[in-house]
Structure 1
């Protein structure tokens, strides 16, 4: 299949145990939960509970019942923002946020919610002091990404969370680019909500995500969706207890079983070992990009080392159209990347790459040094052959 360098979008390949767990569930007992009084249904409930327990353990949640499953991290972010905010409330975000945060806030702004966007530095970094200066008496919540999906720069969320905690302001973390790759714990980040997705660093399937909520924040949220939960079925009122309060309808059980398998695999392998491998590949890639940059063929966007970053690297090709370079990488060399604005126009404005965007490379746990070297060779060939300005 060539070289896959788009793990920031979705990780590939998945550990074989993920596919096996999903297949086994759907072929040997695809029962529902909370809706059957027989052995198979109870086994499914046990699997869901174990997945909550594994997530709580990994992400530093208060209790497994505080883990709420959604179909994706975007839904998790919407669940908290729309369940908490009312006209007159104020929100603080960074300029590196994904549209999963900015589009709900833009929608809520039409209903009287305001937000302040803190300007990050040109490498995507943020000064926690700027957060304090952005707070107002109406600030209800601070929402920030743990790491940029464009350039990999990590934000100082532990410091931001502590500032919020001191001021009794809710703090929500978007961990899309870090959970499973970087130690990401709700307790250490002083977060009231930690939103996660299954299909990136957690190495699970698409279509499953969630949020870990503090009991205090959960008690203040209005559910985004209400309906049948299989519990308290004698009442037409939404259950007040967790996690049923926020899990109306049938859960993505194949996805949860796949996620449970990937979490067990991650625990066995060790996140720190995976992180060390991916950052070693990232450093090798950066080292290989420096000569290309000196020759004027590429420009590295964001941080230029592996300090306070993930394994996401974006580049511009000053003499060439980025989309054409990405197409050539795919068609001529079998190298799969992500080109454009990555659903994060605010981040690209911060990094100085709007409106064209960048070519983004992200190597995963299955990547090799040979993969990195092949990408660098292909980049040099393409840029050397076509090194003339785009008309």
Structure 2
């Protein structure tokens, strides 16, 4: 493959640490049997891989019992399990204007099919959330508050500690979409009063695609999203009651979860604080350069403010898709253009008719790569 400046980490991080490849290769050689379905040595090794992954994730997120972490194929599956398994007819939900379609579409589906009620709390143009608006949205039947920890378009970060305290005080359930924050921002589910945490394996946790998970508080019982074989309580007609089997029907992606565990171990080694600082400094350098281009408007928090590793922008001269195409073909730079599965956030930022170009950095991104990006945008607009 030709050399590439990879600035699409908000979609999938790349390259993966060598340890991820090694763990997946080892699992393919030694642990490809079905975990929980047999007592022979390969099945036992496969079970150990899954438990080891849960244990490592529990260490990262401050979870006491690793079995309260359900392994899924991605954040979307985790969010669907949380939302559809939690809500009943007549329930009220508070969400925000920076939610991804993986939150909005399940909610809108349940509005049609179960008669739930949903309020999307506004954010300002930078994607910042006023806690008073959340407080004012609560009703007597509010069951769930769901919020994206960080916008996948704007890079803004919500005040999770304060939202957790408020939600607990109101007696509602807090579901957090950590698609853009897991591995980059500190998350401790008990200290932050997070009842459910949905996260991807393939982004900030540095694992392979096809992996993710959902932490479920021991105080919450969700209706399973899938029903089928688990290897436990096989004589029962109903889905098992024991965790995590209750929520993990079918043969799991053991090889992928082995890679995920290795990725999370690297995150723990580097620490989310170090990763965040690295990414924040690179976004600031990118923004400094892009602000010099007269025809560009940067989205999200202003220079110097907290944000995750995302810099999105719109151009007065070129369509977002044209810029992304030229960056790829002429400069070997990978970014994403379009609506990023978050139309509400585009409405908040005033880009619902144009979309945006999104460049996103990761722990592997270098200062030199950002310099290439800065120069390329200036040349395109010259």
Scaled to the shorter chain, the TM-score interval is over 0.9
Look up the match of 1:73: 75
Matches within 5 A, 1:299-378: 299-378=297-376
Provide the secondary structure at the position in 1 that maps to 2:128: coil
Task: State the match for 1:388 in structure 2.
Answer: none
What is the match of residue 272 of structure 1?
A: 273
CA distance in 1 between counterparts of 2:245 and 2:303 reads 44
What are structure 1's unaligned runs of at least 5 residues?
385-391
SS at structure 1 position matched to 2:209: coil
User: CA shift at 1:43, angstroms?
Assistant: 1.6
Tell me the C-alpha RMSD between the 2 structures: 1.1
Match of 1:57 among 51, 54, 59: 59
For 1:158 and 1:45, locate their aligned partners in 2 and report how far apart those are by CA, in whole Å.
34
1:239 maps to what in 2? 240
Provide Cα deviations, 1:30-71, integer angstroms capped at 9, x if missing partner: 121001111221122112111101111101223101000111
Aligned twin of 2:19: 17
- Encode CA deviations 1:103-128: one digit per residue, 9 max, x unaligned: 00111110211100101111100011
Match of 1:189 among 189, 192, 205: 192
Report Cα offsets for 1:141-175 as digits up to 9, x if no partner. 00000000001000112111110101110000000
Asked whether the equivalents of residues 93 and 143 of structure 1 are also in contact (C-alpha less than 8 Å), the reply is yes
Give the 3 Å change call, closer, same or farther, for CA 14–306 of structure 1 in structure 2: farther
Contact 1:315 1:359 in 2 (8 A): yes
Alignment partner, residue 389 of structure 1:
none
Q: Which residue does the alignment assign to 2:202?
A: 199
Distance across 1 between alignment mates of 2:368 and 2:163: 39
Matched, 1:143 2:146: yes
1:261 matched to 2:257? The reply is: no
Corresponding residue of 1:130: 133
Counterpart position of 1:180:
183
Supply the distance in 1 between the matched residues of 2:79 and 2:268 (Cα, whole angstroms): 26
The answer to whether the Cα contact below 8 Å between 2:30 and 2:42 also exists between their aligned partners in 1 is no
Match of 1:5 in 2: 7
Aligned length: 379
- Kept in 2, the 8 Å contact 1:21–1:258? The answer is yes
* In 1, Cα distance between equivalents of 2:54 and 2:134: 32
Q: How many Å separate the matches in 2 of 1:29 and 1:159?
A: 43
2:106 to 99, 104, 107: 104
Gaps of 5+ in 2: none
1:341 and 1:355 in contact (8 A); partners too: no
User: Deviation per CA, 1:230-262, whole angstroms, max 9, x where unpaired?
Assistant: 011222221111111111111111111010111
Alignment partner of 1:212 out of 215, 219, 223: 215
Contact map agreement 2:21 2:259 (CA 8 A) in 1: yes
The 2-side partners of 1:12 and 1:129 are apart by: 38
Q: Please give the TM-score of this superposition, normalised by the length of structure 1.
A: 0.95
CA distance in 1, matches of 2:228, 2:41: 25
Once residues 93 and 306 of structure 2 are traced to their aligned partners in structure 1, the CA distance between those partners, rounded to angstroms, is 25
Q: Contact 2:30–2:45 (CA<8 Å) still a contact in 1?
A: no
**1:115 and 2:118 are equivalent in the alignment:** yes
How far off its partner does 1:305 sit?
2.4
CA contact (8 A) 1:61 1:213 kept: no
Alpha-carbon distance in structure 2 between the residues aligned to 1:29 and 1:55: 20
Partner SS, residue 216 of structure 1: coil
TM-score (norm 2): 0.97
Q: Distance in 1 between matches of 2:204 and 2:297?
A: 27
**Per-residue CA shift, 1:285-306, capped at 9, x if unaligned?**
11112211xxx22111111224
* 2:40 maps to 1:38: yes
Cα distance change of structure 1 residues 306 and 152 upon mapping to structure 2, 3 Å threshold: farther
Q: 1:194 is paired with a residue of what secondary structure?
A: strand
Distance in 1 separating the partners of 2:136 and 2:213: 31
SS of the residue corresponding to residue 274 of structure 1 reads helix
